[in-house]
Structure formats: C-alpha cells, structure tokens
Amino acid sequence: MVLDYRFRWRISALALLAYHSVTTLVLATGPTGSNEHTIGMIHNLAAPATGPRPLYAIAHRVLTVQGVKDALGHGANALEIDATAWPSGWLADHDASLLSVGDTIEIMFQTIAEERQGGKNAIFVWLDIKNPDWCDPSDSKLRHCSITALREQARQVLEPANVRVLYGFPYAGGKAYDLIRDDLNANEAINLNGEALKVKNWFDSSGPSDPRKRVMSYGYDDLPFEFGNCFEPTYYTCTELRQATQSKVFGQVFGWTLTTDQEQYANKLLGDAGVDGIIYGFRWTNYYDHPGTRAAFRDIKNWENKHPKLRYLAMANNTPW
C-alpha cells in the first residue's frame, strides 16, 4: 500500500465538529452510549443491505508475475500493484528504486488477464500510483510513461478480460487525476487514502461525483499501531474505517495491511468496522508464496466462514463499482 506520508495528528471531536459544522451529520452511538459525530450526510444514507455482501481479499504489493499467480492461488480476489513511471514506461515498483522494481506493468496485466481467462477469480486490480504526474501525456516524448498510457494498457488488456481497475492516487487533483476522473468507464473507480472526513472532502472538491466510484482506504504498514478499539470519536485506524463504512458516502471502504498473526485485527476490521475488503500480505516486501501470506489470507477466510450471513468472498460476477 502507499507509504504513510501523512502525519497522523490527533484531532479532538470538538475540532472535528467545528470543522464540519455546515454539514448535517448523523449521530451514532458507540458501545459506551456516548454520541459521536460521523461523516454521513442524512440524504446519502442507503437502505440497509439485505443478505450477505461481497468481501475482497486484496493481495498486497504484487510486483511480479509469480506474485500474481501465488496470490490468486492462495485465494485473493483482487491484487494491489504499485505502479511507478520510469523513463522506459510503467513498472510494478514500490519505491522507484532498482531494489524494489518488479516486472513491467504490461506483462503484469497480460498475466492477470490470462489468469482470469483461465478461471482464476481476479475481480480487480488496484493500481497504487506512485508518481502519476511524472510524465506529461501531452508531450509525445513522454506519453509512454504518462497516466494516459497506463490507462490504455488497462483498457486494452485487463478490461476485455473482465478485470476491473481501481486507480489509487496519492493526492486529489492534478492533471493525471483529472484525466482519469473525467473519463471513468463502468470498469473503473478512484481510490484516495486517509481519514474518513478528509477523504470525503477531497472527493467532494475533486470528484468523481458518483459515490460508487469513490473508494476510501485507511491503514498502516504496522496495523496494530494506533489501531484503536473501533469506537473512539475519530483518528484511530479502526474508528476511521468504521465511520467511513457507516457513512455510506463511499462505494467501497478498504483497510490495510493485515499480516501474519493478526487475526484479532482482521476480526475487528471485518466485524466492528465492517470494511468491504482488506489488503493483506507482507508489510514491507512484495507478495510471494510464504506461510505468512497464506496465514494472513486464512484469517480473512476464517472470518468469512464464521459469518456467512454477513459476507462472502466476492466472485467473478460481482461488481465492486
């Protein structure tokens, strides 16, 4: 997932209320009985879902062809790929470094499409775009490493194979963001990462206007760090995700990053926070077949097995946005 560049400053409930005083807020009562302000606008609240809802197990930092095959073999139904523009084009690369670079985006997309056509349950690819504006699409010499080229590859290879695409941006706005936002098709959505109210405001100011195309995520490489109990007024990871899901202003809400021996956090994210999916895998290295990656997926699957009336692992016919 994205490096945690944000400073996670504590914000009191009073400050949050003052900041958002012009918006009609829904009051939710936590388990202690105290009221808290959440971000949901009353007219945006959807009717309660009936029956179990789809759940996404999203493999973290998939940077190689073998990682694609390993993740789908373990049971992942979505893949998070770090996409970095290099002078030669787009690469699966987390740190813009020779030490972290994987395969080309082109061969990654081809492999995913082949796996999907071969029966694997690859529902969407989440592109965590590290430097979206590095290459100007209007410059013919740089178009091959621009956001336009990345989208063209996705539309030419992934989408014909019925694999959807989530464009994850490090910030709202900018030429690349606007280009993607203004031409989203039925297979595509945009992700922004951060605290629930901040992400809502970013989407409100920068689009897209369709809430189904707005995907919120929040988390930390070291998930237990400031995870919270899920019912604080604001700030803590689980609380922010719970408020995001309850607000109904986002099409999907995803938490990250679940690693091995963190079953209690999986249970909290899926139970108390009610997230639609979890990024799982290693904290700081690319995905591959290992007892740790298999164990992290198993914690998601075990929760699903115990709660069949609430969630089921999404299948190829599910539409995330």
Which residues is 216 bridged to in the sheet? 192, 253
Tokens of 193: 């990462």
Contacting residues for 55 by C-beta, under 8 A, at least 6 apart: 270, 276, 277, 300, 304, 311, 312, 313, 314
Using CA atoms of 232, 235, 236, 242 in order, give the dihedral in degrees to the nearest 10.
70
How many other β-carbons are positioned within 10 Å of the β-carbon of residue 84?
Answer: 24
Cα–Cα dist 262/296, whole Å: 7
Given a contact cutoff of 8 angstroms between Cβ atoms, the answer to whether 255 and 218 are in contact is yes
Given a contact cutoff of 8 angstroms between Cβ atoms, the answer to whether 273 and 217 are in contact is no
Please report, for residues 7, 130, 133, 206, the alpha-carbon distance to residue 173 in angstroms, rounded to integers and kept in the order given.
Answer: 20, 14, 10, 6
State the helix-helix crossing angle for 237-247 and 196-206, rounded to 10 degrees.
50
Phi (first) and psi of residue 5, to 5 degrees: -75, -20
How many other β-carbons are positioned within 10 Å of the β-carbon of residue 314?
Answer: 21
DSSP state of 54: E
Cα–Cα dist 188/170, whole Å: 17
Catalytic residues: 60
